[in-house]
Amino acid sequence: MSSSFSEITPLDEHGWDAQWQELFASHAEPGTVPARVLRSERGLCDVVTSQGQERAVLQRVHHTSADLSPSTGDWISMFPSTGTEPGVFGSVLPRRTVLSRASAGGTSEEQVLASNVDTVIVTVSLAGPLRHTRTERLIALAWASGAMPVIALTKADAHPLPESAVIEVSALAPGVPVIATSSHTEEGIEALKSTIQGTVAVIGPSGAGKSSLGNRILGAELLATGEVRAVDGKGRHTTAWRELLPIPGGGVLLDTPGLRSVGVTSSEEGIGEAFADLEELAGQCRFADCTHDGEPDCAVQDAIRSGVLTERRLTSYRKLQREAQRLAARTDARLRAQRVSELKTRAHEQRAWSKERARHR
């Protein structure tokens, strides 16, 4: 198996890079090998190692604690499998980003949906009316994860003037690229592909065209789409369902069922990033604690009067803030502070890393 060329292993195909190599070297227990988690449940993990797909067993302590238990996208250390025994999970390497939401049970606990996502594609269908508040919510969620958001307007072939939609949606997401795409005509697909990097998650409402777009990015029909499902079920995609799919030419597409229903909540920090334009205006109000509700010299109300900002966007901002505050009230303050500082570090590292990557492209 040895070769003087550096061989591409399944690990490389799933996003292994010099930075992970370094983290692994400084965190891993002696005798372990690196692996990436494809899926994790009830004491077992499906992982990929340099040898291909394998299983790893978790010890009891790991599946009772949310902090210790691995999730899809995690890089872990693993005591390798032997001829007769499966691998044994060691520990989770520090996460670059975390896509999470409040648990459905209404407790303060967060549910990690996926780890180490570098790019979040937020899909917005051009085949129906634009739902701005939903888009803002998804963008805030993406920012909160520490990943880079990109908006893909899908089904551009079904819209009379996609360029006007690009302008409209760009106003909802300062600093976020907005690209009109069509999985039918391939419009915008190359532009989108050159914008995304690393591990890519596609989020958005059901029917927005996420799977179709995923297939264009992968260059193969690997994900089941609405059309296929509508036929009769027999025509469904035949490849086994996987959660991390290597993208030809680099990167990994992450397709987890958890992501299909993302959008429940996001942190105040994520909202701050998503509404950076509004927060900057608020910094120019006369009163530091201005509620933008009739105070004199309010830069936010001025912007609404002059048409720079919509009333709808202010309302949306307030609503998301209230939700995040309700959630924060349920979360232990110490844990929260820790989480915020982790997120900041991650976002910072992520940006540095993206820049580094961009320079070497």
Ligand X SMILES: Nc1nc2c(ncn2[C@@H]2O[C@H](COP(=O)(O)OP(=O)(O)O)[C@@H](O)[C@H]2O)c(=O)[nH]1
Strands 119-125 and 244-246, how do they pair?
Answer: unpaired
Residue 254: count of CB within 10 angstroms of its CB: 27
Choose one: 43-51, 183-191, 207-215, 289-297; the region binding Zn ion (CB under 5 A): 289-297
Using rule CB under 5 A, residue 300 touches Zn ion: yes
Using rule CB under 6 A, residue 80 touches ligand X: no
The residue ranges of DSSP E strands in the chain, in sequence order, are 33-41, 44-49, 52-57, 75-79, 87-92, 98-102, 110-115, 119-125, 148-154, 178-180, 199-203, 244-246, 252-254
208 vs 327, beta carbon nearer ligand X? 208
Which one of 155, 193, 313, 346 is in contact with ligand X (CB under 6 A)? 155
45 vs 208, beta carbon nearer ligand X? 208
Choose one: 191-199, 204-212, 300-308, 341-349; the region binding Zn ion (CB under 5 A): 300-308
Quote the CA–CA distance of 235 and 315 in Å, as a whole number.
45
From the number of C-beta atoms within 10 Å of its C-beta (0-12, 13-18, 19+), residue 27 rates as middle
Q: Among Zn ion, Mg ion, ligand X, none, what does residue 62 contact (CB within 5–8 Å per kind)?
A: none
From the number of C-beta atoms within 10 Å of its C-beta (0-12, 13-18, 19+), residue 22 rates as exposed
Q: If DSSP codes are grouped into helix, strand and coil, which group holds residue 159? A: coil
Helix (H) or strand (E) run with residue 335 in it: helix 333-360
Which one of 100, 145, 154, 266 is in contact with ligand X (CB under 6 A)? 154
Task: Report the amino acid identity of residue 80.
Answer: P
- 113-142: contacts with ligand X (CB under 6 A): 127
Q: Give Cα 249 distance to the centre of its chain.
A: 20
Per-residue contact string for residues 280-299; x = within reach of ligand X by CB under 6 A: --------------------
Least distance between ligand X and beta carbon 55 (Å): 28
Cα dihedral sign for 171, 177, 181, 187? Answer: positive
Using rule CB under 5 A, residue 292 touches Zn ion: yes
Q: Among ligand X, Mg ion, Zn ion, none, what does residue 183 contact (CB within 5–8 Å per kind)?
A: ligand X
Q: Among Mg ion, ligand X, Zn ion, none, what does residue 212 contact (CB within 5–8 Å per kind)?
A: ligand X
- 325-344: contacts with ligand X (CB under 6 A): none
Which one of 144, 166, 192, 285 is in contact with Zn ion (CB under 5 A)? 285
- 173-232: contacts with ligand X (CB under 6 A): 182-184, 206-212, 225-227
77 vs 183, beta carbon nearer Mg ion? 183
Count of residues in contact with Zn ion, rule CB under 5 A: 5
Phi first, then psi: give them for residue 263, nearest 5 degrees. 130, 10
Please report, as ranges, the residues that interact with Mg ion according to CB under 5 A: 210-211
128 vs 248, beta carbon nearer ligand X? 128
The count of C-alpha atoms lying within 13 angstroms of the C-alpha of 124, restricted to the half-sphere facing its C-beta, is: 30
Q: Among ligand X, Mg ion, Zn ion, none, what does residue 157 contact (CB within 5–8 Å per kind)?
A: ligand X
Least distance between Zn ion and beta carbon 293 (Å): 8
Helix axes 132-145, 311-330, angle to 10 degrees: 40
Question: Residue 30 has which token pair?
Answer: 């002696």
Counts for the chain of helices (H) and strands (E), in that order: 13, 13
**Where does this chain bind ligand X (CB under 6 A)?**
127, 154-155, 157-158, 182-184, 206-212, 225-227
**Where does this chain bind Zn ion (CB under 5 A)?**
285, 290, 292, 298, 300
